[in-house]
Amino acid sequence: MTRQRPAVLIARTVFPEVVAHLQAHADVTMNETDAVYSPQELMAQLQGKDAVLTTGSERVDATLLAACPQLRMVANIAVGYNNFDMPAITAAGVLATNTPDVLTETTADFGFALILATARRLTESEHFLRAGQWNRWSLDMFAGAEVHGSTLGILGMGRIGQAIARRGAHGFGMQVIYHNRSRLDAATEADCKARYVEKDELLRTADHLILVLPYSAESHHAIGAAELACMKPTATLVNIARGGIVDDAALAQALRERRIAAAGLDVFEGEPRVHPDLLDLTNVVLTPHIASATMATRKAMAMLAADNVIAYLTEGRALTPLNPQVLQKG
C-alpha cells in the first residue's frame, strides 16, 4: 500500500525554493495572494492538513485546534510566538516550532541601526531636507545625542540582546547595562561587557534603552507612563521586540511633551495599524516590522520552518521545538 503524503498549508507567501523543498516531502497548499486569513478562513484552509507554516499574522488557539483535528504541527516563521496559545497547542498534542538563531545577527544590526537613527535624528533631518526647508547651515542644526561612550540599556538579554550588547560595548565603547528575568552567567556578561541592574536603575540610567524581550501577559505594557517618567528627558527608546510591550499612547504623549527625547519603533500595538498620535510626531523613527528583513535571513527563517515540518512529519523529530514534551509522547 502506498503511504499517503502529508498535507501542509503555507499560510503566507514564501520563497519558491522553500515551497519546492516542502513539495518534495508533502502535498502543499499555498496562500497565493499573501492576504492574511481571517480566523474562519484559516480554519477552512486547515481542514485535512497535517501541518502549517505560520507567521505572526495567524493566531493558533484552542478554537482553531478544535476545528482542525488532523493538525499535528504548527511551524512559526519567527522567533517570537505570541500568536500561539502554547498551553492549548500542547494540550492538543500538536507540536509547535519557531526559528531562533538564524535571525539573531541581522535583527541586532537593525536594532543598532534604529539606535543610531533615533539618537542622531536621521529621519527627522531627511524629511526636513526633502521638504525643501534646508536653506542654511547652523551649528546646532539637528544636533542629536551621543552614541559612542554613552550608556546602553537593554531590557531582555536573550540572543539578540546579547548581540546588541556586543555591538555597543565593542564597537561604540558604550557602558552596557541590562535587566532580564534571570541574570546571565559571568562568562556571558564578560563577553558582552554588560552589567546586570534592576529595572528601575535601567530606566533611570540608560541614555539609549532598547527592548528585546518576548511578549507575554507579564510583559504587556512593560514600558508605560510610569516607566517613561523614570527615564532621562535626553534618553531615547527603541522597540524591536513586539507590539504591546510599549504603551504606544503613553509613549506618544511622552514624546510630544519631550519627556524623553526620541523613539525608534519597528513594532506596534495592533500592527499593521499604528497609533495615529505617533504618526504626527517628528521625534520618532517608524519602520514596518522589518528588523529581520534581509533576503538571506528571511529565506533562512522560512527554510528552518520547512525543515522542522519535514523532520516531524517524516521522522517524528524537530530542530527547534517549543513544546518538546509532545515529541516525547510520540
DSSP state of 35: P
Q: What is the DSSP string of 164-202?
A: HHHIIIIIH--EEEEE-SSPPPHHHHHHHTEEE--HHHH
| Farthest-apart Cα atoms in the chain, separation | 81
97: nearest Cα among 75, 72, 78, 71:
75
CA distance 205 to 199: 10
CA distance 105 to 101: 8
Catalytic-labelled residue, pool 166, 256, 259, 289: 289
Residues near 183 by beta carbon (within 8 Å), at least 6 away in sequence = 189, 196
Q: What is the DSSP string of 208-263?
A: EEEE-PPP-TTTTTSB-HHHHHHS-TT-EEEE-S-TTSB-HHHHHHHHHTTSSSEE
Residue 40 vs residues 51, 67, 90, 91, 184: alpha-carbon distances, Å: 17, 10, 22, 22, 43
261: nearest Cα among 249, 251, 269:
251
Which strands, in side-by-side order, build the sheet including 27-30? 27-30, 7-10, 51-54, 73-76, 95-97
CA distance 235 to 105: 25
Half-sphere exposure of 252 (CA within 13 A, CB side): 14
**179 is an active site residue:** no
CA distance 265 to 111: 9
Catalytic-labelled residue, pool 242, 269, 275, 298: 242
CB 145 within 8 A of CB 294: no
**242 is an active site residue:** yes
Coil, strand, or helix at residue 199?
helix
Q: Which residues are identified as catalytic?
A: 242, 271, 289
